Structure 1
Amino acid sequence: MVEGTDNRRERRQRVLKGAAIISGISNSEISCTIRNQNDGGAELRVSPEARVPEHFVPYVPTDGVAYQSVLRWRRNDRIGIQFTGIVPKPRLHYG
Structure 2
Amino acid sequence: MIETRAAPRHRVLKAGTIEFGGGAIDCVVRNLSATGAALEISSHVGIPERFALVVPSDGLHLRCDVVWRKNYRIGVTFS
| TM-score normalised to structure 1 length | 0.75
1:79 aligns with 2:71: no
Residue correspondences, number: 77
Correspondence list, 1:32-71, <5 A: 32-71=27-66
1:23 aligns with 2:20: yes
User: Any stretches of 5+ residues in structure 2 without a counterpart?
Assistant: none
Deviation sequence 1:54-95 (CA, Å, 0-9, x none): 1100110001111001011000100000011xxxxxxxxxxx
User: Any stretches of 5+ residues in structure 1 without a counterpart?
Assistant: 1-5, 85-95
| TM-score normalised to structure 2 length | 0.89
Equivalent position of 2:7 in the other structure: 10
| Structure showing the higher strand proportion among its residues | 2
Relative to structure 1, the CA distance from residue 14 to residue 54 in structure 2 (aligned partners, 3 Å threshold; closer, same or farther) is: same
Give 1:13 deviation, angstroms. 0.3
* Counterpart Cα distance in 2 of 1:50 and 1:34: 18
Q: Percent identity?
A: 39
